Amino acid sequence: MNFTIRGEKMEVTDSIKEYVVDKLSKLEKYFDEPAKVNVKVLFKVRGREQKAEVTVSSMSYDLRREVSHSDMYAAIDLVLDKLERQIRKYKTKLMSKERVEIVYEEYFEEELQEVVKRKNVFLKPMDEEEAIVQMELLGHTFFVYKDIKSENICVVYKRYDDTYGVIETN
């Protein structure tokens, strides 16, 4: 696995880096080609809260989880647990079809009401079920994809009653 570890407005110590690599390397068993898996870890400190954000990108899919805790090492342990549960939950669905790696990013901050980041994404054709799996893996409430049958751009989203909706374009 290829690791990128950085801190936002903080210095990441060697001991934390070693701890992260040691812990997250346990996820290798879930990937066919661990050498092609990229793991990005971002640490943030806000007051007494320590936040660990981890994005795991493989050739087939992306996983993203974040955890806040008063102790950075505990946050790392918790984010690993969440990622591992997420992988086990979706392993069967992920292995059943070819998946796509989607690059995602937050597009705006609520207070500013302006676009602060822009990202290009590759939209590989997929069906609704596959798009829902990708959305859940990323931990987002919506996901943009290209419908495999109609080749239209669609958006699947999670509704307040925990059902899903799809917005289709023509």
**Residue 79 reports pLDDT greater than 60:** yes
- Tens of pLDDT along 88-131? 777 655 554 444 343 333 444 344 467 777 878 788 889 999 99
Q: Are 27 and 87 in contact (CB under 8 A)?
A: yes
60, 94 Cβ separation under 8 angstroms: yes
Q: Give me the CATH code for the 2-90 domain, please.
A: 3.30.160.100
Of the pLDDT bands very low, low, confident and very high (cuts 50, 70, 90), residue 86 is confident
Q: How far apart are CA 27 and CA 84, in angstroms?
A: 7
d(CA 16, CA 10): 12
What's this model's pTM, rounded to 2 decimal places?
0.57
Write down the domain spans for the chain.
2-90, 97-170
CATH topology of domain 97-170: SHC Adaptor Protein (3.30.505)
Residues 1-50 have pLDDT tens digits of 889 999 988 888 999 999 999 988 888 888 778 888 889 999 998 888 88
